[in-house]
Homo-oligomer: A and B are copies of this chain.
Amino acid sequence: MFIELDLQSETPIYTQLVDQIVEGIASGVLQPGDPLPSIRSLAEDLGINLHTVNKAYNLLKQEGLLQVHRKKGVIVQPDGMPGVTEAFEEKLRRQLRSLAAAAAVRGMAEEVFAQESRAVYREMIANRGRG
């Protein structure tokens, strides 16, 4: 599994898990239908609490990015990813606003911030289809 946690980080562990799974899907490392480790085995591998993995998987299930089956286990959504909903746009803008504010107070110009955003998106999907 490609997950690496930073236990010193301000970012909660379940958020780090969510982020890395979403990045795995976005970059194509995880394909629709791909299996994820069971809650128990991922918790053991990472040395973290079952509830933390459960919280991350549940959030991703609620967002429609994962499916949880009694038999097949946890898999990446095979029936089409969710689209850009109004709720998603709102949340994205709120989070971008917080990053833009942090950048702006430090004197990073609008153009640089927009370029960073673009570059990060591009890098992430650069390897799609090569795996």
Q: A44 interface residue, CB < 8 Å from B?
A: no
Query: What is the oligomeric copy number?
Result: 2
CB distance from A116 to the nearest CB of B (A): 6
The majority secondary structure among interface residues of chain A is helix
Complex-state Cα separation, A47 to B6, whole angstroms: 32
Q: A26 interface residue, CB < 8 Å from B?
A: yes
Contact B106 A122 (CB under 8 A): no
B-contact 0/1 string along A15-29, CB 8 Å cutoff? 000010011011100
Which residues of chain A (79-131) have a CB below 8 Å from chain B?
81-84, 88-89, 92-93, 95-108, 110, 113-118, 120-125
Contact B96 A117 (CB under 8 A): yes
Query: Could you list 10 A-B pairs, sorted by A, with CB under 8 Å?
Result: A12-B12, A19-B97, A25-B105, A26-B100, A26-B101, A96-B116, A103-B121, A104-B125, A114-B115, A114-B118
List 10 additional contacts besides A23-B98, A95-B95; criterion CB under 8 Å.
A23-B97, A25-B101, A26-B102, A92-B102, A93-B116, A93-B120, A96-B116, A97-B120, A113-B118, A114-B114
Q: Which residues of A contact B (CB under 8 A)?
A: 12, 19, 22-23, 25-27, 65, 81-84, 88-89, 92-93, 95-108, 110, 113-118, 120-125
